[in-house]
Amino acid sequence: MYGLSQILLPLRLVMALEEEQQQAESEGNEPAAAPEAPPSANAEPLAWMKDTVQWGVRAEPGKHGLTMRDLNVGIYGEIPESSSDMSRRPRGAFPIPGVPRTDLYALSAKVDLWADNAVDLYEEAIQRRWMGHLEVDWDDITPQPIEVELAMRQLCTELAQQASMETDIIGQWLHKMNYAYHEVKTFLASEIFDTGRHYTLFRRRALHNDGSLGLESAGQFNRRMMETRPGWTEVGMFLYMVRGPLTLLLYRYGEAYARNRADKFLFRKCVEDKARHMAYGMAHVKYAVDNQPPGFGQGLGNLMRGVERDLVRDLKDPVLWEALAIIISGSVANMAQGMAVVEDFKQRYIEDYLKRMQWAGINKTEANLSPDLAAFLRREETAEAGG
């Protein structure tokens, strides 16, 4: 049943338009050029109510509520291998002839952006959302010795920058993705929201206790991610499998060496978000490697040779490592102890990077790793040989 207001609404709209036109003519304005026939499928009044691609679709809520996955039934769950639709028509909506295209989606093939887990990760992002400004007990973050404060500010400045980079990188690809793949688009929208949150929270943490922001981070790898053009898969590999493990580890060490429960909570919730982002990225890269023509994964591996050089240049910058060493050890005087943990961190990072690349089907091993990065893995051998 439809209420009277719903039936009268279209009539009111027509009357309002006619009134507007009469008013324009009475004011001496040229009447607007008559638009071409409106893009309706049927001129009969209210006929649009009968237009649907499929009747009778029923979605049932599950234990998680009525999720995006639950709604993927009937035609609404048909995910095309490619889409030539250049409008913003929601998948499953009734197509209207003559609607001008609104974009030229460069990513209109499923293989260019898809991950099977995106639909569930979107729900996870929505249902596990958090509000740092309310949920972090900021009053619990009491001042530490100035060197620890400065080190924490530096770490948080770098983390804020990493987050804002991620926002921009996803932003410049999101509008290129076809709406047929709304699972991915909405998940990435949630990721932008997350990275926006991370940016503001780490900036706030740096400024807490009459603080200040530290130095901006070395930017070679940032630039590489921003300027990569061949495809989202390549950018995704950089973002989620090279930068991602570094950010995740920084969050994890931030949690482990926090000096109060508020910082513990802040870093732990960021760990959750980052791991979720990486779950999409890893699954997408693996999907692309499995479904692109043979040799695609090899190409991704080859691409890393140059990229690793940028990574090495960033990793040689001492600022982040010194800050981390001070946070870990609690003082400049004990920094050497902290630096030993930092060396473990670097080794763990490179191991993690290799593991994730291999998981996605990319042949990245110690044997074909940049020698400078491989050196991080041989720290124990070097220490034993030297000592």
Binding mask 239-258 for another protein (x = CB under 8 A): ---------x---xx-xx-x
Would you count residue 208 as binding another protein (CB under 8 A)? no
Nearer Cβ to another protein, position 46 or 256?
256
Nearer Cβ to another protein, position 214 or 330?
330
Among 101, 128, 133, 305, binds another protein (CB under 8 A): 128
Would you count residue 259 as binding another protein (CB under 8 A)? yes
Among 264, 309, 313, 378, binds another protein (CB under 8 A): 264
Among 200, 260, 347, 370, binds another protein (CB under 8 A): 260
Of the candidates 169, 154, 159, the one whose C-alpha atom is nearest the C-alpha of residue 266 is: 159
Q: Cβ of residue 15: shortest distance to another protein, in angstroms?
A: 48
Would you count residue 188 as binding another protein (CB under 8 A)? no
Among 112, 124, 183, 191, binds another protein (CB under 8 A): 124
Q: How many residues bind another protein (CB under 8 A)?
A: 35
Q: Cβ of residue 137: shortest distance to another protein, in angstroms?
A: 13
Q: Cβ of residue 362: shortest distance to another protein, in angstroms?
A: 13
Binding mask 267-286 for another protein (x = CB under 8 A): -xx-xx-xxx-xx--xx---
Q: Cβ of residue 279: shortest distance to another protein, in angstroms?
A: 6
Of the candidates 311, 349, 318, 343, the one whose C-alpha atom is nearest the C-alpha of residue 219 is: 311
Q: Which residues contact 209 (CB under 8 A, 6 or more apart)?
A: 141, 142, 143, 149
Which span (96-104, 121-129, 208-216, 305-313) binds another protein, by CB under 8 A? 121-129
Q: Cβ of residue 205: shortest distance to another protein, in angstroms?
A: 17
Nearer Cβ to another protein, position 170 or 258?
258
Q: Which residues bind another protein (CB under 8 A)?
A: 62-64, 117, 120, 123-124, 127-129, 248, 252-253, 255-256, 258-261, 264-265, 268-269, 271-272, 274-276, 278-279, 282-283, 355-356, 359
